[in-house]
Amino acid sequence: MIHVPEELAAAQEKFNGAAGRAFVSGLPGLAAAFLEHWDLRVTGAPMHGVSALVLPVDRADGTPAVLKLQILDEETEGEPVALRAWDGDGAVRLLDHDTSTGTLLLERLDPARTLARLPDVREAVLVVARLLAHLTGTPAPAGLRHLGDIAHALLERTPGALSRTPDPAVRRTVADCAAALREVADEPGDRLLHWDLHYDNVLAADRAPWLAIDPKPLAGDPGFDLWPALANRFDADDPDDPGNTADTAWRFDAMTDVLGLDRDRARAWTYARLLQNCLWHIEDGRPPTPRELEIAHRLRRRPSRCAPTTPAPGPPSGRSDCATG
């Protein structure tokens, strides 16, 4: 019998309600069915995030793998599409997939070695940037969600959110983000985006130093993929950098340099990502987080340590001239 962690059950209750409860109650049976179907043997304790149960397993030939059981929705249904497109190059390799349930069989990486544990935060930022440069170099396959659709939906939702926001500073930030998004919404791009490449979604492996996991893929502009590396591992009280202004600037400059992005356009898509987060909070009856508002403020007055870049022809070089800061 597979044990479902209480934290996963609570998260499913919170975010998915009745559908989440049904998913959790069906997990033991679903796991048993795929362990038999793919001839797998459980070799360790279950792992989980907010939306998936992950079981370390061995295949019949002894190859280590993980069985990922998750709710099938608009975010998870694109995961096997993206992983097949990347084919293990910069991302975890997909070994098998069940279309009807969204269940995945993936190569096993090392969950104990995440980029979140790398002591040098700036090196971690550059690892994410190099992975994004590589992953977004792939054209988005057909059938994925489009950033253009998401962008226009965000703009349609903005007036209602503004009317529910009493704080003038928050209203100004939301309005500014929407204004930036309007400038680029009609040119949303066509690259394969990960959408959620924060530091815990980068794991070490034997075959590569770092690989991306858990994509929520979109077809769109790579600038929309920068926010997680800006917002995570952010310490506004860093004694060596009061206000953390320079660090926010360094991260943004370094990532746009490595990816070869136009900075004004990348900044607009970064604000679009912040707008998405703000709308989620406001529509859920909560204000945006101080961290998100602080990063947006500091990015707006970015004192660049690097000269502005112009995208060079051809693929990004993967080298950041900002890396030495």
Give the residue numbers marked as catalytic.
196
Q: In what order do the strands lie in the sheet with 110-114?
A: 110-114, 202-204, 211-212
At CA 265, angle to CA 264 and CA 271, rounded to 5? 90
Contact between 70 and 49 under an 8 Å Cβ cutoff? The reply is no
Which secondary-structure segment (H or E) carries 248? helix 245-259
**Strands (E) located in the chain:** 41-42, 47-48, 52-58, 64-70, 94-97, 104-107, 110-114, 145-146, 191-193, 202-204, 211-212, 218-220
How many residues would you count in the chain? 325
Helix axes of 290-300 and 263-283: crossing angle, nearest 10 degrees? 160
CA–CA separation, 169 and 220 (whole Å):
30
Residues facing residue 110 across a β-bridge: 204
